[in-house]
């Protein structure tokens, strides 16, 4: 049936509901703040008056919430029987362990979870290149593929319910860390009279890390940390210069200080003449 329930109407949930409505689906919505559903209702969505009503309206229930604590609080408002027979596409961000725990909890109430990690921001929902990590029962995902693909493409990772959350969190780790580096660099630029627009082409070149990823990945896999191209000691010296430049510019130096700490630990562990890739082992020892 071309029908679905969406619980959680933040920016992502709003975008998902709009995509379903645009695809001709009957969409039932529920949100802790009912007013967030107002515009969607005017566009044809059905407002559920309770969590129980939202769950029992359709077999497929899409959760788009802040974290699994929010999921627990919301689903606790409905009797366990309301989940019986439901397929819960849990597109909520949290840890792999929480995803596995939630899947077991839902199974105990007769529901099947498919864990998802959306790889695009809300404006990307429904666009051709959008993709979501999924894990869980493959047959269930395939049964609901048409509805899931209204939102994004599917990158299936395996039966383990935690895999989609794991891949998602790894990506988010890299995403926020890289963007924090950009913002810190831009703060130094602005402190020295360089606008974001003026620095943009330079930032784009610097943040294009594809060459390094393709170079490093096979070396990491092979355990080859030869310092023939870069060295931890070089990175340490460079980051010391970065920190001094930031401080001289009146910019907070805590972000480069965190990277400096890692590089110093690498040198102390005997990796000063090794490649930056040797720091993977230093990080894992933590």
Residue with tokens 């990690």: 117
> Domain of 30: which CATH number?
3.40.50.720
Single pTM value for the model: 0.92
Residue after which a domain boundary falls, among 104, 137, 160: 160
% the chain with pLDDT above 90: 99
Mean predicted confidence (pLDDT) in 23-39: 96
* pLDDT at res. 50: 96
Answer yes or no: are the C-beta atoms of 144 and 87 closer than 8 Å: yes
**How many domains is the chain partitioned into structurally?**
2
Q: Is the pLDDT of residue 105 over 90?
A: yes
Share of the chain above pLDDT 70, in %: 100
The domain boundary, picked from 143, 160, 177, lies at 160
Question: 81 and 173, same structural domain?
Answer: no
| Same domain, yes or no: 192 and 156 | no
Whether 285 shows a pLDDT value over 90: the answer reads: no
Q: Are residues 118 and 179 in the same domain?
A: no
134 and 75 within one domain: yes
Longest CA span, the chain: 64
Domain range for 240 is 167-285
Residue pair 27/44 in contact (Cβ under 8 Å)? The answer is: yes
Do 137 and 194 have their domain in common? no
Residue 232's domain is classified under what CATH number? 1.10.1040.10
**What is the per-residue burial (b if ≥16 Cβ within 10 Å, else e) of 125-159?**
bbeeebebbbbbeeebbebbeebbebbbebebbee
């Amino acid at each position: 049936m071309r029908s679905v329930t969406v619980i959680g109407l933040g920016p992502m949930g709003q975008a998902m509901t709009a995509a379903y409505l645009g695809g001709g689906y009957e969409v039932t919505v529920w949100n802790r703040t009912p007013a967030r559903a107002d515009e969607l209702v005017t566009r044809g969505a059905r407002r559920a008056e309770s969590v129980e009503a939202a769950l029992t309206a359709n077999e497929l229930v899409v959760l788009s919430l802040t974290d699994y604590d929010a999921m627990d609080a919301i689903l606790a408002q409905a009797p366990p029987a309301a989940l019986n027979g439901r397929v819960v596409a849990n597109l909520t961000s949290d840890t792999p362990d929480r995803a596995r725990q939630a899947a077991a909890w839902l199974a105990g109430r007769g529901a099947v979870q498919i864990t998802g990690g959306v790889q695009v921001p809300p404006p990307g929902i429904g666009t051709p290149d959008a993709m979501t990590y999924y894990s869980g029962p493959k047959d269930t995902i395939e049964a609901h593929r048409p509805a899931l693909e209204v939102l994004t493409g599917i990158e299936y990772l395996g039966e383990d319910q935690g895999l989609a959350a794991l891949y998602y969190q790894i990506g988010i780790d890299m995403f926020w860390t890289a963007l924090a580096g950009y913002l810190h660099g831009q703060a130094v630029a602005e402190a020295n009279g360089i606008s974001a627009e003026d620095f943009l082409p330079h930032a784009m070149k610097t943040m294009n890390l594809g060459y390094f990823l393709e170079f490093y990945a096979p070396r990491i896999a092979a355990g080859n940390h030869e310092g023939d191209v870069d060295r931890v000691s070089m990175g340490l010296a460079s980051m010391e210069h970065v920190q001094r430049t930031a401080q001289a510019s009146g910019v907070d130096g805590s972000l480069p200080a965190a990277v400096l700490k890692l590089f110093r630990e690498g040198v102390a562990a005997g990796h000063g003449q090794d490649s930056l890739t040797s720091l993977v082992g230093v990080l894992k020892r933590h």
